[in-house]
Structure 1
Amino acid sequence: MSEQPQQVSRAVLGFPRGRRVRRALAAVALLAAVASLAPPWWWQAAVAAGRWAGRHWPVVVLVLVAGALSVGGRRRPSAVVLGRRPRTPAMPLLVHVALLLGLAAAVAAGVGVVLWDVLGQPTDRPQAPGAPLAPTWGVQERLDAVKVVLTVVGGVGAVVALTVAYRRQRLTEADSHREDTKVVLDRYTKAAELLGAADASVRVAGVYAFAALANDAPEARQGCIDVLCAYLRQPYGTAADPGPHDPGQERQVRLTVIRLIRDNLHLADDDPRSWRGHDFDFTGAVFDGGDLAGATFAEPGRVTFAEATITGGLSFDRATVAGGAISFDRARFAGGAVSFKDARLTGGRVSFVDARFVGGTVSLAEARFAGGVVDLSGVDPESSTGVWPTGTPAPPGLRLPADRRIPRT
């Protein structure tokens, strides 16, 4: 096979890099600068907020922990190339824990300052005779302070434990990702070997292997579809010039590819095996027959028959074009008939720009137009007389060749 898909996954296990740490430090510095220039009423508001947080500190702690876990657990979508090892945590665990401990110490110090202010800035030193009475630390207050300290220490320990468990889980996920990627690579390699075999029955097995892999691994689906389309784009021998394979046997292999594509385009959008919305590139392929009847083509998928040669007919009967684009631009219809009987066009675009008809026909007479566009405006009027019945008004969305325009209904 000359064309191999490279991108098979859209999820990578990533970790924050140094850039994020620098951004966090910059944010802290900015907050410090703003705090140094803050007007007095800001501090009054901060004290009021601190008093509220002091009364409801368990809720505040739980909210902070939940926020940290939700931010740390997010994954950044990216593309993974076959064979590339997934990224593992770049920051050493000791550094990670040290940073968290430092952050926890800073939070504890801040909480202590707020509590000291909330309690009226008490002191345990003797007061001068005649001085105004100031709040003092009694036994109960000291016990309460010890409880707060123990709570903070316990919270720090919990944060460290959560960090270690989180890092261990990420490493486990990375190992699992590597194993899954290895399985996909092994199946992909075996399917490619089957598809490149000399025996036609083995090649058919390779076609089914790629279709099964596409259904089992959605992240590899477009790559498998690309391989099957690339197989159809390969040179196709004839009786006069059979090429490396027997033309009759090769035709059966190619029809199997088309049939499997049709079967998976039959499936509903909510079916996890559906191939709707994917791209199919048949550029330059030779179609000696094929049945896409009942298939549904939906956006954002694009189906390209550009420069293809259709010699044995191609059926789109009862197919639905609900979005996306189907292109027959510069295609050559040589003796084959392309039928759209009972096909429904509800969206998207079907174009025949510079298509050539050499004994072949395309019939849209029994198609149902409910939206979308079928563009035949660039087709030679003399060679496309069978596309739409002469004298019949064209429905909205059908653009006939310039010399055969009929008033629309």
Structure 2
Amino acid sequence: MAVSVLGWLFVALLVAGATGGGLLWFLGWPRLPRAGAFDVGELLDLLKIALSVVAGFGGVVLLAVGYRKQRVAEDEHALSVQRAEREVVQKFNERFGSAAEQLANESPAVRLAGVYAMAGLADDWADKRQVCVDVLCGYLRIRQERDGETEVREAILRMVRDHTRASARISWSALDFDFTGVTLENADFARLEFRGEVLFDGAEFVGGVASFAGTVFGRLLSFHGARFAAAETNFAGITLARGKAEFVGAEFTGDKLDVADALLESSSMAFFRCRFGAPVVDFSQLDFSFGRLVFDRCDFADLELDLSSKHGYDPGPLPVLAENCRFERCRLDLSHVARQVRLTGCSLDTVTLVDRDDEPVQLPWQQVELRGGTLLPSHHTEVVSPASS
């Protein structure tokens, strides 16, 4: 306090000295009369001036004291806020530890309570919401054979669905989700919204249906090494807003793969070294907005592959690419889109090509091998490019 007061007094003296010196300079440095030359009234005026100066310095002292008190009050308030925040974080940490212990309990009822406790903590603790969700996803990745395990895992998936719907009161859509290596029976991720990264690497989908129909993905959707063994895998109407969907080494062994009406906005859906064994593979009516569908080193066998569109795709860069792929005993429907589907280095063995467009078109194919009596539509008899064989 003393240092603060002395500092302000020093500043006041400097200001007063500078002001007085400036005034004397302006007046031409006049010579003051002797003390005996002042009458009583002038002496009183000088006394008033001296008292005003003293009062001014007193005001400076009061100002310094008040400013210091204000700083002390602000520091005390900041400390109280920090203490309150530490107490809140401590309570959150206690809740986190309690929920984690519940998830590790042998009793299925306690583990189920732990799921709801961890989800509730994620709603309340915005700063560590991702950590809480990571714990729930990590629980799914741990393979356990215990009583009530199905109910506990389904509760976690239900929490994910409830918090990634458009109507969710507290949304988890901006978070990342890691379902690596998880086995999902009758997986239901339909009509949800994921704006972060979603990983299903090494996951296995079994049961009657694995549905992602109508779901919006904003960044990376990854299915490296995933196995789709559900009777129907449904990606119909999904939206890839940004980023990309990657299927690397994935297998489709169910009865149907439905990706019809998907919207690719400035993004790509890429299949690399995938094996398509589902009898019906539907990529029809795709909507491309600067997006692209890519097949690279994929195997298609004993299936119907539908890439058709009612009105074709907008002119521009080719939206559908297939490179070094093998088609065996397939029916390939390119109705109204034959111009926009490029095959490079592919092998077609006993393939029937369907194109309901009656006008002859030039297929953008390069180094394509046609074997086993592959059938092209009649108006495509002379359309194989010079680089094709």
TM-score (norm 1): 0.62
Partner of 1:400: 294
Q: Does 1:286 align with 2:183?
A: yes
1:213 pairs with 121, 134, 144, which one?
121
**1:152 alignment counterpart:** 60
What amino acid is aligned across from residue 151 of structure 2 in structure 1?
Answer: Q
What is the alpha-carbon distance in structure 1 between the residues aligned to residue 84 and residue 286 of structure 2? 61
* Structure with the largest fraction of helix: 1
Note the C-alpha offset of 1:296: 1.0
- 1:214-264 deviation line (CA, Å, top 9, x unaligned): 11121221111010010011115xxxxxx3x04xx3222212111111111
Q: Which structure carries more relative contact order (alpha carbon 8 Å, separation 6+)?
A: 1
Shift of 1:206: 0.9
Structure 2, unaligned stretches of length 5 or more? Answer: 35-42, 299-320, 323-337, 342-389
Are the equivalent residues in 2 in contact too, given 1:395–1:408 (CA < 8 A)?
Answer: no
Deviation at 1:112, TM superposition (A): 3.0
CA distance in 1, matches of 2:2, 2:259: 71
For each residue in 1:77-117, what CA deviation from the matched residue of structure 2 results, as whole angstroms up to 9, or x when unmatched?
xxxxxxxxxxxxxxxxxxxx566456534543443344334
Q: Percent of pairs identical after alignment?
A: 29
Instruction: Go from structure 1 to structure 2 and tell me whether the alpha carbon gap of 1:256 and 1:147 turns closer, same or farther (over 3 Å shift).
Output: same
**Aligned partner of 2:236 among 334, 341, 355:** 341
**Residue 193 of structure 2: aligned partner:** 296
- CA distance in structure 2 between the aligned counterparts of 1:292 and 1:185, rounded to whole angstroms: 31
The runs of 4+ residues in structure 1 deviating greater than 6 Å are 121-125
RMSD: 3.4
Q: Is the 8 A contact 1:334 1:359 kept in 2?
A: yes
Distance 1:379 1:337 in 2: 21
- Report the 3-state secondary structure (helix = DSSP H, G, I; strand = E; otherwise coil) of the residue aligned with 2:91: helix
Report the residue type matching 1:279 in the other structure.
Answer: D
Please tell me the residue identity of whatever aligns with 2:210. Answer: L
Q: Distance in 2 between matches of 1:304 and 1:230?
A: 12
Say if 1:382 and 1:328 are closer, same or farther in 2 by CA, change over 3 A.
closer
2:152 to 242, 253, 263: 253
Sort the Cα spacing of 1:157 and 1:235 in 2 relative to 1 into closer, same or farther, 3 A: same
Equivalent residue, structure 2, for 1:74: none
Q: Match for 2:259: what amino acid?
A: L
Aligned length: 291
Aligned counterpart, 2:303 = none
Counterpart code for 1:252: E
Helix, strand or coil: the match of 1:120? helix
Higher gyration radius (CA): 2
Q: Where does residue 72 of structure 2 map in the other structure?
A: 164
Letter in 2 for 1:163: R
Q: How does 1:6-405 map to 2 (within 5 A)?
A: 97=1, 100-101=4-5, 103-120=7-24, 138-236=46-144, 243=145, 245-246=146-147, 249-267=148-166, 273-298=170-195, 301-312=196-207, 313-321=209-217, 323-335=218-230, 337-359=232-254, 362-367=257-262, 369=263, 371-380=265-274, 382-383=276-277, 386-389=280-283, 395-396=288-289, 397-402=291-296, 405=322
Decide whether aligned partners of structure 1 residues 126 and 181 sit closer, same or farther in structure 2, where only a CA change above 3 A counts. same
Q: Residue 149 of structure 1: CA displacement?
A: 1.4
Equivalent residue number for residue 313 of structure 2: none
The whole-number CA distance in structure 2 between the counterparts of 1:216 and 1:360 is 43
| Paired letter, 1:296 | E
CA distance in 2, matches of 1:325, 1:100: 58
Compared with structure 1, are the counterparts of its residues 127 and 398 closer, same or farther at alpha carbon in structure 2 (3 Å cutoff)?
A: same
Residues 1:158 and 1:205: Cα distance change in structure 2 (over 3 Å): same
Q: Which residue of 2 aligns with 1:42?
A: none
Per the TM alignment, residue 138 of structure 1 is displaced from its structure 2 partner at its CA by: 3.5
Report if aligned partners of 1:214, 1:224 keep a CA contact under 8 Å in 2: yes
C-alpha spacing 1:153/1:338, structure 2 compared with 1 (3 Å): farther
Unaligned ranges ≥5, structure 1: 1-96, 129-135, 237-242
Question: Shift of the alpha carbon at 1:170?
Answer: 2.0
Query: Hey, which of these two has a bigger chunk of strand by percent?
Result: 2
Task: State the match for 1:75 in structure 2.
Answer: none
Tell me: CA distance 1:225–1:127, structure 2 relative to 1, closer, same or farther (3 Å).
Answer: same
Per the normalisation by structure 2, the TM-score is 0.65
Kindly provide the CA deviation profile for residues 1-51 of structure 1, in whole angstroms up to 9, marking residues without a partner as x: xxxxxxxxxxxxxxxxxxxxxxxxxxxxxxxxxxxxxxxxxxxxxxxxxxx
